[in-house]
Amino acid sequence: MTLDTLKTYLDPLLQGASWTLALFAASSLLSAALGLLVCFCRMSSLAPVRAIAKAYIDVIRGTPLLVQLFFLYYGLPELGVVIPGFAAGVLGLVLNFGAYLAELFRSGIQSVDNGQFEASRALGMTRLQRMRVIVMPQALRTIFPALANYALVLVKDTSLVAVISVYELMRAGQMLAGATFRSLLVYSLVGAIYFVMCSVLSTVFRRAEKWLSIPGYWSGAPDHNPAAKI
Amino acid sequence: MNPIISIRGVSKWYGESQVLDGIDLDVLPDEKLILCGPSGSGKSTTIRLVNALEDYQKGEIVVDGVKLDNSPLSIRRVRADVGMVFQHFNLFPHLNALANCTVALRLVKKMTAKDANALAMHYLERVKLGAHAHKHPGQLSGGQKQRVAIARSLCMKPKIVLFDEPTSALDPEMVKEVLDTMLQLASDGMTMICVTHEMGFAREAGDRIVFMDHGRIVESGEPRRFFSAPESARAREFLGQILS
């Protein structure tokens, strides 16, 4: 196989990959925002607000993403709600990851020592200031490795929206394989492109984790390795 | 002289269990009050009431003319006047020593970065940590952390500073540096309430010692006399335990 033939296969796939990146960008940002909102609802002092957040989390986590996507794209039109493919894909991913991120954020916030809340209260900070400046910066550092996991899962789960005819990397692969009958080659290339995207993303997260590390705290230095203490 | 803190008939319950039972306590301006007693006696709860870290069900607390009635306004006004130093320091681990001191100056007092830094450096130097201003809490020893915590509370220019067992979590060799800082603060005329079992400090700095047990004030008096001749059997028993 010559480089030229490889290029004829890669071009449509890379075009699909650019849509995968768009899906990832939109749904990662929106699901983080939704997750934060649901997390605060889940920890609200108002029981009905908590109940709604819990119900939402339970429904989303209790059903497959594939079913949720089918529901949004094929189910809702029966009720007169028609959502275009890309929007339905983003909505499905956001609703799904928002629920998981809400619980992740909650675990991070609850891991912050109670003394931090007390010290910032004693200094006269408002609730919002305590959250923004004292609690969240610590919570986010704690959950950062898990956050990287979810980001990588999200990159790969964008491939599921191919089933609701959204054009992205997986869909581009299916179309190309269908037209050329060279499934082995095409899906190898598709897999390789996902792998490259994930590798770049995990490098970014590793760098960011290092950058966010606090001097004197666990930062990857061997003498601070908590695992060594077990 | 009018008391700066007035606690009148205060009782507090956690669900069914009563933790404070009719506490009456006045603290005068510039007074150094020592609170002691066995674990679970309510001494920490009592000082935590003074800056509204705990609420109470019965009685009345007035701090510097502000009645604490659980309203956000009263809590805010009281916290502006009352600093607090905790047993476990509670420094913000993601901020360096300087930023630990300036964060509330910036957010609560709305000071500019320049003014806040200058003020924070002034207090960090007073606790002899000017050279460590850019270190994070994880890079400081226990004694240094507690001195940063003291500087952090002083930055807010409080009229009263509460100390909740400030040396209990420290290694023995670091207790002195923290107590020296507290003695210096006492000699500067700060109103202080200290929950502590450091008897040397209580003798030297304390104007009055209050002994609590089971949510009640059992006895109070001048520290020297309390340590040499406690009136109540409960206090004698307690002193026997901590001195042995």
Contact B136 A123 (CB under 8 A): no
Distances (CA, A) of B87 to B44, B144, B164, B223: 10, 13, 6, 22
Contact B136 A113 (CB under 8 A): no
**Helix H or strand E segment including B32:** strand B32-36
Percent of chain A with pLDDT over 70: 94
Q: Cβ contacts (< 8 Å) between B51 and chain A: which residues?
A: 122
Question: What was the pLDDT predicted at B70?
Answer: 84
Q: Would the CA dihedral through A179, A183, A185, A189 be positive or negative?
A: positive
Contact A214 B136 (CB under 8 A): yes
Contact A169, A17 (CB under 8 A): yes
Is residue A227 scored above 90 in pLDDT? no
- Model ipTM? 0.90
Contact A43, A173 (CB under 8 A): no
- Tell which A residues from 99 to 138 touch B, by Cβ distance under 8 Å: 113, 115-116, 118-125, 129, 133-134, 137-138
Question: What was the pLDDT predicted at A220?
Answer: 46
Is residue B1 scored above 90 in pLDDT? no
Give me the domain span that covers residue B62: 5-243
User: Topology of A3-222 in CATH?
Assistant: MetI-like fold (1.10.3720)
Cβ contacts of residue A200 below 8 Å, gap of 6+? none
Query: What is the DSSP secondary-structure string of B208-222?
Result: EEEEEETTEEEEEE-
Give the gap in angstroms from C-alpha A215 to the nearest C-alpha of chain B.
6
Interface contact A208, partner B, CB < 8 A: no
Contact A138 B108 (CB under 8 A): no
Q: Cβ contacts (< 8 Å) between A123 and chain B: which residues?
A: 79, 103-104, 108, 152-153, 156
Confidence of residue A217 (pLDDT cuts 50, 70, 90): confident
d(CA A164, CA B16): 58
Number of domains in chain B: 1
Interface test with B, best of A123, A128, A218 (most B CBs within 10 A): A123
Domain with residue B23: its CATH number is 3.40.50.300
Is residue B153 scored above 70 in pLDDT? yes
d(CA A17, CA B19): 63
Q: pLDDT of B189-243, one tens digit each? A: 999 999 998 888 999 999 999 999 999 999 999 999 998 889 999 999 999 888 7
How many Cβ pairs closer than 8 A exist between chain A and B? 71
Q: By CA distance, what is A127's nearest residue in B?
A: B72
Percent of chain B with pLDDT over 90: 85
Which of A118, A125, A215 comes nearest B86 by C-beta?
A118
Contact B90 A113 (CB under 8 A): yes
